[in-house]
Amino acid sequence: MKKSILSTALFTLAALGASSAFAGGGNKYPAGQPDSVSTKSRAQVKAELAEAIRIGDIIADSERGLTAYQLNPSAYPARPSAMGKTRAQVQDELAKAHMDGSLARAKLQNQGG
């Protein structure tokens, strides 16, 4: 009988100690200052949201993480393709790298030499 009373008392003290540890645990909800301050105005954020909706850049399928544009590209404006270098530009850069020795140095660095 004494053991059960003693164990109950210890359990109660442990529970009280645990709950008091959570009381000051740094939880800022619901009050408190935000950790970061936005530099955008409310109007700017609303404009960005409207543009994201217009071009389909919002998540429409949260399970797969797909945007509305990815699910139905024909319903949104066409996106510009990324401009890269032409074949001639790449060949020119390669020729210059051969001539100035930077290609040979890069090969040595990649081989650990």
pLDDT tens-digit readout, 28-80: 666 666 667 788 999 999 999 999 999 999 999 989 999 999 999 999 988 88
Q: Whole-structure pTM over 0.85, yes or no?
A: no
Query: Kind of pairing, strands 59-61 and 66-67?
Result: antiparallel
Query: Counting beta carbons within 10 angstroms of the beta carbon of residue 38, is it exposed (0 to 12), middle (13 to 18) or buried (19 or more)?
Result: exposed
Tokens 């001639």, located at residue: 88
Each domain of the chain, given as residue ranges in start order, spans 40-80, 81-113
DSSP state of 80: P
* Alpha carbon distance 39, 69 (integer Å): 28
Strand partners, 67: 59
